[in-house]
Structure 1
Amino acid sequence: MTYSALCRATAAVAMAAGLLPACAPRPVASATALAFPANQFALDSALRRIATLQDERRTAALLPYLGHTEARYRQAAAEALASVQDKAATPGLLLLLQEDDEPRVRQLAAYALGQTADSTAETGLYQQLPHETDATARRYVLEALGRCTSRAGLAALTRLPPALAADTAALSGQAWGLYRAGLRGLTSEAAVARLVQLLAAPNPTSARLAAANALARTRGLNLAPYATALLTTARQDRHYAVRAGAAQALAKAATAPTVPAALAALARRDPDYRVRLSALRAMSAPMYAPVKEAAWAALTDENAQVALAAAEFFLAHAANEPGPTLLEKAQALSQWRVRATLLAAALRQPGDGRAAIRRAVQERYTAATDAYEKGYLLKALGEDPAAFDFVREATFAPSRSLVVGTYGMEALVAQRRLPDFPAARQPDFALVLRQAVLGGDVAQLGLAAEAIRDPKLNLRPLLPNPDFLLDARAKLVLPRDLEALQSLQQTVDFLRGVKPTPVPVAQAASHPIPWDVVMALPAAPRAVVRTSKGNVVLRLLVNEAPGSVASFVQLIRQGFYDGKNFHRVVPNFVAQGGCPRGDGWGSTDYNLRSEFADLHYGEGAVGLASAGKDTESCQWFITHAPTPHLDGRYTIFAQVVEGMDVVSRLEIGDRIDKVELLK
C-alpha cells in the first residue's frame, strides 16, 4: 500500500471513531533528514497517534485500529491495549486472535488478553488453541490462559492436547501458563507434577525456566516428593537461572533427608553466584545444624551478594546461637552491609551479652561516615528495644541525612513490633510517630502512618484523633508525594473506620509524551551509567516505551542522575537508583503511565520503579537475573548491553557519577 493510500485507510478508521486523521504530513525529522536510523515514531505519525491513545488510556479510540488494513497498526493497537488493560477491549481482542491472518497480530492479541486478565477470555483462548497454526502464537495463548484461567479451567492447561505433546513452543507456553496461574494462587497436584516433568533436561530452556520459577514462587507447595528431580536440576541444568530456581524450590522440600546437604554443597560449589545465593535462601531453621558451616563459609564469599544472603540466613534462622560469637564474626568482616546484618543477628539472640553487642553497634554508628552504613547500623539496633532512645535521637537529629532519618524510622517501628518492647515505652513510641508525621519528611510520615494503621500495634487508643494526619496530608504535593499520601490516606480511613479512599493518579494531560524528544532519537539509542564500580551501557527501547525513554533522556540532559546513589540492592533481584532523596521515597513533580510492551524481565532488564500502575517517575532498576514475576507489571525501557559484571558488584550507596547519552 502506498503512503497516500495508507493515510486514506487510516483516516477512515479514525473518522469512524470520531478522531483526527491518524496520518498527518510527515514531520521534518524524517528518515532522510536524520544522520542515523530513525525510530518508528519519527517515521510514522499513526504509530505516534496509537501510542498517545495508549498513554491517555482511550480504549474506545484504540479499538478501531484493531480492524485496520495495515498489520503494523493492528499490532500496535493490540500491544497498546496490553498497557491500558481495559476489559472493554476483550471482545475485539478475541476477534483479532481468532480471525487475523498475521501471526504477530495474533500473538499480541493473546498477550493483551493475558495482560487484561479478563476471565471471560478463557473460553475464547481455549477455543483458539487447536486451530492456531503459528507455534509462537500457541505459546502466547497458553501463557495468556495462565493469567485468565479459572480454577476449573486449570485442568485443561495442565493437559496439552495430544497433537501438541512434542511441540516445543507449546511446552514453553504451558510452563509459562502454569507459572502465571501459580502466581495467582491457582495450582493443583497435577499442575505441580506437570511442572516437575517440564524441568527435565530435554525440554526447551524457556520451559525449564518457567517450571523452576513456578515451583519456587507458587505458595503452599509441598515439594518433598519431588526432591530428587529438583536436586538433579539444581545440580546439573546447564542454565544458571534454572539451577537457581530449582535450588530456591528446594526450600519447599526441606523434609526430604537429602536436601540440607545438597543445599550446603550448592552454596559452596556452584560456579554462578546466583545459584549459591538461591541455595542459601532455601535454607531454613529446621535444617540449621547441617547447613550452618556452609553458611559460615559463605560470609566471606567473593561475591558480596552471596555473603549478604549468608548473613541474612543467620538473622532469620539462628536460634540460641551465642550473641558474642556472632559479634566476633561480624567484627572480622570487611563488607559493611554483611557486617551490619550479622550484628543484627547477634542482637536478636537472647543472653547476657546483648548489652555489649548494643554498645559495639552504637560505637560503629558513631564512627561511621557513610549514611547508608549508618542506616544499616540503625536497622541492626531495630532488633533491640533497649536502643530505643539512641535510635530516636539519631532519627530526629537536626543534622541527620535523609537516608539516616528513613532507616531510623524503620528501626523504631521494628523495635515496637518486638515482643519484649516495654509497655511503659508505648506512649513514647506514639509520640515518635506523631513527631514523624508533623515533621513533614515524606519518608518518615509515610512509615509512621503505616505503623499507626497496623492493628497488631494497637495504636488507636493512643492516637485516636486523625486531625494531625489531615494537617500533614494538606501539605503534600501530588504527584511528587504520592507514596506518602497513599500511606496517610489509608491511615485516616483506618482511624475513621471507612472504606479506603482511592488516591488520584496523574493523567496523561499533566505530562504528555514529548514527541519532539522521541522523534529526535535514533532507533536504538544508548546511554552509559558511569558508577563508582565501573560503567554500565544501556540500550534504550524507544520503540517499545517512548514516554519512559523520553523522560529518562530529559533527566539525563538535566544532569538529574549525576551524583545520585544506588539506594536499594536486593541480592539476585535488582540494583535500584535514581532517587533524588537517596532513600527510595523521592520522585519528580510528574508521573508517567505504564508502558507494558511485549518484553520480559531477563538478566539486565532495566525497569521503572512505581507505587502502582501509572505512577512511574525517575527511579529505575536493573535485574540481576530473570525475574518473570515483574513481567507486565513494571515498564521495561532499556536493556544492559555492556557491564553486567559491574551490575553484579553494585552495592547500596554506590555512586552514579554520571549518566550520558552515547553518540
Structure 2
Amino acid sequence: MSQPVFRRFALAVVAAGSLLSGVTACVSRPVAAPPPVTNKFADAGLRQIATAQDARATSALLPFLERPEGQYRREAALAFASVQDKAATAALSAHLADADVTVRRAAAYALGQTADSTAENALRQRITEEPDATTRRYVLEALGKCTSRTGLATLTRLPANLATDTAALAGQAWGLYRAGLRGLTSEAAVARTVQLLAQANPSGARLAAANALARTRGLNLTPYAAIIAAVAQNDPSYAVRSAAAASLSKASPAAAVPTALSVLTRRDPDYRVRISALRAMTAAQYAPVKEAAWDALTDANEQVALTAAEFFLAHAKGEPGASLLEKANRLTTWRVRATLLAAALKQGGNQQAAIRAAIQERYSAAADPYEKGYLLKALGEDPAAYDFVTRATFLTGQPVVIGTYGTEALVAMRSNPAFPVELQPAFALLLQRAIGTGDVAVMGTAAEALRNPKLNLRRLFANTGFLRQARDKLLLPRDLEAWQSLQQTIDFLENIPAVPFPVAKAGSHPIDWALVQTIPTGQRAIIRTGKGDVTFRLLVEQAPGSVASFVALVRQGFYNGKNFHRVVPNFVAQGGCPRGDGWGSSDYNLRSEFADLHYGEGAVGLASAGKDTESCQWFITHAPTPHLDGRYTIFAQVVSGMEVVSRLEIGDRIERIDLVR
C-alpha cells in the first residue's frame, strides 16, 4: 500500500509596509498543505494496471511484469489473480524468482488463482529455493491449487529442514486444504493433516487443517475421531474448534463422537462451535444426541436454535408429529418455529391433517412476508397442502418473496415420493404457468425443476418455445440468473451442448476512476440496522471497482430500507437485494476483483452468479470461510459490530448506510 504523498510549498507575498516609512517588506506566509493522496490510484500506472485487469487484457498487463519498478510488477502479478489467463503462467512462473519479495508472493498467489497444472513444477522447485519464509507459505498454498495427484506427495512431506518452520507448516496445511477442495487427497495426506491439528503448530496451520478435514469430500475420519474430538473441545481458537467439530460428521457414530458433539452443543462458549456441533450430528447418531439438540432449541443465540430445528427437520425419527407441533408452538422466534413446524409435518402420523391446518392458520395470521414464506416452505413437506400453497404462491398483489418461497415449496412437494401420481400432470402445467409469470425467481426456480432428472419431465416438454419466449424477455445483465436457469433448461430438454452465459464486458460499466480517487484508504461505512450498527472499512485499494459501485449506490440511497434476505448460521448474513429474495440485481455487472485477501470473520464480499457477475448484493461472514477465498470479491471488512452481525436475521432492515471518515 503506497504512503500518502505530501507536497509543501510556500508563496512569497509582497506586502506594503507602512506608507509613512515607505519600506517594502517581503513576508513568507505558511499556507495549508494540499490534502494527502487519497489512495494508491493517484498513480496513473496503477490505474492502467487495474483498468487492464478489469478488461481481462492480458496483453496490456504483461509489459508491466517487466517494468523496473517493483510496485508495478507486483500489481500486475496480482491483477492476473483476477484475470486467470493461463497465457500468463510462464511469465508468472519466471517471477517466482523476482528480486522483489513482494513480487514473488504476488506471482505465487496469481499462479494458484489461475490453477494451471503446468505451474506445478515451478512451484515445487521454488519450495527449496525460496529464502523468504512467508513467500514459501504462498508457494505451498499455490501448489495445492495447481498440483496433480502425483504431485500431492510434495505437499504431504516437507523437506527435513522445514519440519519446524512455522510458515512452512502453515503453507503445507493450506496447500493440503486447497488440494482437498479439488478432490485431491490420500491416506498419507489425511494423516499429515490430522498431525497439523496439534496445538504446538501455528494457529493458521491448525485452522487450515481443521477446514481440510471438514470440507474434503469422501473422507472416513473414524480412525482419528478421538484426536479430532479432543481438538474440537480444547483448541484455544473457536474457528479451529468449529471446523474440527464439523469434521466429526465424517466419523462413524462411535460412543466418543455423539458424546463430544453433545458436550460442545451444550457447553462451548462460542455459538459458532455449537452450530457446527449440531450440524455434525447425523441420523445414525439421533438417539444419543437428540436431548442435547432439544436443549439447543432454546439456546440464547437464535442461530443455534435454528440449527437445532434444522437438525430435527433433517433427522428426526420416531417422533410424534403432535409432540413436535407442541414444542414449536412454544417457540417465539418465527424462523425457528417455522422450521420445527416443518419437522412436525414431515413426521406427521395420525395428526398430519391437524398439523397442516395449524400451519395454514399461522400463515393466514402472519404479517411478515418472510415468515409467510417460511410457513409455505414448511407446508412443502406435505403434498396434501398442494392446493393451499398453489393459491398462496400465485395470488396477485403480494410481496415477491412469497412467490419465491411458494414456488420452492411446490417443487419440494413434487420431489416427495408421496406426491400423488394424479397430480403430476397438473404440476407440469403449473411449471409452465410459472415460466410465464415474468417473475425472475419464479421462472428460475420452475426452470430448474423442469431440468431435474429425478422428476423426469423431459418427455412432457418436447417444445421449448415457451422457455425461449420467456428468456428473450429478460433484461441482461440484470436478469442473468433467471436467464442462466432458462437457458440451461432449454439445453437439457433439447439435449444440446451447454450455451455459454453472457458476461458483461468492462466497457459496459468501467471503473469510475474519478470516484475512486475521492475514496480514502480509511473510508468507513456504517450500516444502520434495527439490531444495531455495523461498521465496514472499505478496501478501495484492493477492490476499486467494487468499492466505487458500493459508494455510488450508498450515495443514491439504494440500500435504504432493503432487507437481509439470507442468513445462514455460522456462515453469512446477506443483503442488498432490491427484490428482497436474492434474485434481484442492479442494471450492471462488475468484474471480480480477487485480491490477496481471505474470508475471515467479518469479511464483506459481493454475491455473484459466477465469475464477473457481481452486482449490488453483499454478505458478511460470521466466521472464517476459506472455501470462498479467491472466488468472491472481498471489498470491505467489519471493524466493529460483529455482535450485531451475529444477531441479524432474515427480514432485518438496512435502515440506511452512512459514509464516514
TM-score surpassing 0.5? yes
Of 290, 293, 302, which aligns to 1:292? 290
Q: String of CA shifts for 1:441-494, please: whole Å, max 9, x gaps.
A: 000000000000111111123222101111101110000000000000011111
Task: Tell me the distance in 1 between the aligned counterparts of 2:318 and 2:398.
Answer: 35
Which residue does 2:308 correspond to in 1? 310
| Post-superposition offset of 1:254 | 3.0
Gaps of 5+ in 1: 1-30
Alpha-carbon contact 2:521-2:541 (below 8 Å) kept: yes
| Post-superposition offset of 1:388 | 0.4
Of 473, 479, 504, which aligns to 1:475? 473
Instruction: Classify the secondary structure of the residue corresponding to 2:350.
Output: coil
Q: String of CA shifts for 1:124-155, please: whole Å, max 9, x gaps.
A: 10011101000010000000000000000001
Which residue does 1:455 correspond to in 2? 453
Which residue does 1:120 correspond to in 2? 118
Alpha-carbon contact 2:77-2:107 (below 8 Å) kept: yes
Which residue does 2:252 correspond to in 1? 254
Which residue does 1:385 correspond to in 2? 383
Alpha-carbon contact 2:477-2:503 (below 8 Å) kept: yes
Instruction: Classify the secondary structure of the residue corresponding to 1:523.
Output: coil
Which residue does 1:16 correspond to in 2? none
Q: String of CA shifts for 1:588-619, please: whole Å, max 9, x gaps.
A: 00000000000000000000000000000000
| Post-superposition offset of 1:399 | 2.1
Instruction: Classify the secondary structure of the residue corresponding to 1:439.
Output: coil
Query: Is 1:73 aligned with 2:72?
Result: yes
Alpha-carbon contact 2:377-2:408 (below 8 Å) kept: yes
Task: Tell me the distance in 2 between the aligned counterparts of 1:463 and 1:91.
Answer: 49
**Matches of residues 606-621 of structure 1 in structure 2 within 5 Å?**
606-621=604-619
| Post-superposition offset of 1:503 | 1.1
Instruction: Classify the secondary structure of the residue corresponding to 1:456.
Output: helix
Which residue does 2:218 correspond to in 1? 220
Task: Tell me the distance in 1 between the aligned counterparts of 2:544 and 2:154.
Answer: 38
Alpha-carbon contact 2:543-2:595 (below 8 Å) kept: yes
| Post-superposition offset of 1:37 | 5.2
Which residue does 1:97 correspond to in 2? 96
Which residue does 1:160 correspond to in 2? 158
Alignment-mate amino acid for residue 570 of structure 1: V
Instruction: Classify the secondary structure of the residue corresponding to 1:353.
Output: helix
**Matches of residues 319-334 of structure 1 in structure 2 within 5 Å?**
319-334=317-332
Instruction: Classify the secondary structure of the residue corresponding to 2:309.
Output: helix
Alpha-carbon contact 2:589-2:614 (below 8 Å) kept: yes
Query: Hey, which bits of structure 1, 4+ residues long, moved more than 3 A?
Result: none
Which residue does 1:20 correspond to in 2? none
Q: String of CA shifts for 1:537-574, please: whole Å, max 9, x gaps.
A: 00000000000000000000000000000000000000
Instruction: Classify the secondary structure of the residue corresponding to 1:295.
Output: helix
Task: Tell me the distance in 1 between the aligned counterparts of 2:499 and 2:223.
Answer: 46
What TM-score do you get using the length of structure 2 for normalisation?
A: 0.95
Which residue does 1:58 correspond to in 2? 57
| Post-superposition offset of 1:32 | 5.8
**Matches of residues 6-85 of structure 1 in structure 2 within 5 Å?**
33-34=34-35, 38-41=38-41, 43-85=42-84
Which residue does 2:268 correspond to in 1? 270
Of 360, 363, 377, which aligns to 1:362? 360
Alignment-mate amino acid for residue 39 of structure 1: N
**Matches of residues 427-576 of structure 1 in structure 2 within 5 Å?**
427-576=425-574
Of 138, 141, 145, which aligns to 1:140? 138
Task: Tell me the distance in 2 between the aligned counterparts of 1:363 and 1:257.
Answer: 43
Alpha-carbon contact 2:462-2:494 (below 8 Å) kept: no
Task: Tell me the distance in 1 between the aligned counterparts of 2:632 and 2:448.
Answer: 24
Q: 1:32 to 1:499 in 2, by over 3 A?
A: farther
Alpha-carbon contact 1:87-1:116 (below 8 Å) kept: yes
Of 352, 356, 361, which aligns to 2:350? 352
| Post-superposition offset of 1:523 | 1.6
Alpha-carbon contact 1:382-1:412 (below 8 Å) kept: yes
Q: Which has the larger radius of gyration?
A: 2
Instruction: Classify the secondary structure of the residue corresponding to 2:646.
Output: helix
Task: Tell me the distance in 2 between the aligned counterparts of 1:552 and 1:579.
Answer: 13
| Post-superposition offset of 1:257 | 2.0
Task: Tell me the distance in 2 between the aligned counterparts of 1:351 and 1:463.
Answer: 36
Instruction: Classify the secondary structure of the residue corresponding to 2:453.
Output: coil
Task: Tell me the distance in 2 between the aligned counterparts of 1:351 and 1:501.
Answer: 47
Task: Tell me the distance in 1 between the aligned counterparts of 2:634 and 2:301.
Answer: 27
Task: Tell me the distance in 1 between the aligned counterparts of 2:428 and 2:399.
Answer: 23
Gaps of 5+ in 2: 1-31
Q: String of CA shifts for 1:136-183, please: whole Å, max 9, x gaps.
A: 100000000000000000011100000110100000000000000000
Task: Tell me the distance in 1 between the aligned counterparts of 2:476 and 2:123.
Answer: 40
What TM-score do you get using the length of structure 1 for normalisation?
A: 0.94
| Post-superposition offset of 1:320 | 2.2
Q: String of CA shifts for 1:187-220, please: whole Å, max 9, x gaps.
A: 0000000011000001000000000000011011
Alpha-carbon contact 1:254-1:260 (below 8 Å) kept: no
Alpha-carbon contact 2:598-2:629 (below 8 Å) kept: yes
Which residue does 1:88 correspond to in 2? 87
Which residue does 1:19 correspond to in 2? none
Alpha-carbon contact 1:119-1:149 (below 8 Å) kept: yes
Q: String of CA shifts for 1:349-378, please: whole Å, max 9, x gaps.
A: 141111100000000000000000000000
Which residue does 1:401 correspond to in 2? 399
Over the residues paired in the alignment, what is the CA RMSD in angstroms? 0.9
Alpha-carbon contact 1:320-1:350 (below 8 Å) kept: no
Which residue does 1:11 correspond to in 2? none
Of 149, 158, 169, which aligns to 2:167? 169
Q: String of CA shifts for 1:468-525, please: whole Å, max 9, x gaps.
A: 1111011100000000000000111111110110111000000000001100111221
Matched residue count? 630
Alpha-carbon contact 1:122-1:148 (below 8 Å) kept: yes
Instruction: Classify the secondary structure of the residue corresponding to 2:564.
Output: strand
Alignment-mate amino acid for residue 62 of structure 1: L
Q: String of CA shifts for 1:226-270, please: whole Å, max 9, x gaps.
A: 011101111110000000011111111133321101100100000
Alpha-carbon contact 1:90-1:118 (below 8 Å) kept: yes
Q: String of CA shifts for 1:15-54, please: whole Å, max 9, x gaps.
A: xxxxxxxxxxxxxxxx9643x551110x201000000000
Alignment-mate amino acid for residue 81 of structure 1: F
Alignment-mate amino acid for residue 508 of structure 1: A
Task: Tell me the distance in 1 between the aligned counterparts of 2:33 and 2:578.
Answer: 39
| Post-superposition offset of 1:61 | 1.0
Task: Tell me the distance in 2 between the aligned counterparts of 1:330 and 1:267.
Answer: 20
Task: Tell me the distance in 2 between the aligned counterparts of 1:268 and 1:409.
Answer: 37
Instruction: Classify the secondary structure of the residue corresponding to 1:426.
Output: helix
The alignment-based identity, stated in percent, is 70
Task: Tell me the distance in 2 between the aligned counterparts of 1:468 and 1:78.
Answer: 47
Alpha-carbon contact 2:348-2:355 (below 8 Å) kept: no
